[in-house]
Amino acid sequence: MKNKLVATFSSLSINRLFLIDAVGALLSAIMLGIVLPQFHHHIGLPVVVLRLLAIPAFFFFLYSATCFILHKSKKSSLLKLISIANILYALITLSILIYNFDEILWLGWLYFIGEVLIVVILAIQEWSTAIK
């Protein structure tokens, strides 16, 4: 089962990765910009921090959706760019978590560690696909 999942994930096309990235980034932007601010007392981060993290997520959505829709010849270069941006986003998120370590509640840790793991796994797959 595990090998089949890894094989399926590693055989994703560049276009499919842009689609996955766009959907994930939109979901993150909605969660960080709309949903989590309503529950910021249970997350442990101020609303302004949550909304600031939503901004790059929204721009990543626009970028990946545009790359998915448009048929450009250099999509592997574009995929490398979003891969690097995703890693930087994960590092910034981890920095915010470390800076606010004492204030973040268990629900906040659960959400952000999950998000960072997903983003990093996706970024690694994007990079691997782009350099093939």
User: What pLDDT, on a 0 to 100 scale, did the predictor assign at position 12?
Assistant: 86
Tell me the C-alpha distance between 48 and 90, whole Å.
Answer: 18
SS3 per residue for 52-64: HHHHHHHHHHHHH
User: What pLDDT, on a 0 to 100 scale, did the predictor assign at position 5?
Assistant: 46
Q: Render 96-107 in DSSP notation, one character per residue.
A: HHHHTTTT--HH
What pTM was computed for the model? 0.89
Cα 118 to the center of its chain, rounded Å: 7
User: What pLDDT, on a 0 to 100 scale, did the predictor assign at position 61?
Assistant: 98
Q: What is the DSSP letter of 74?
A: T
User: What pLDDT, on a 0 to 100 scale, did the predictor assign at position 8?
Assistant: 56
Burial state string for 8-31 with b = 16 or more CB within 10 A and e = fewer than 16:
eeeebebeebbbbbbebbbebbeb
User: What pLDDT, on a 0 to 100 scale, did the predictor assign at position 74?
Assistant: 79
Residues of the chain with pLDDT under 70: 1-10
User: What pLDDT, on a 0 to 100 scale, did the predictor assign at position 9?
Assistant: 57
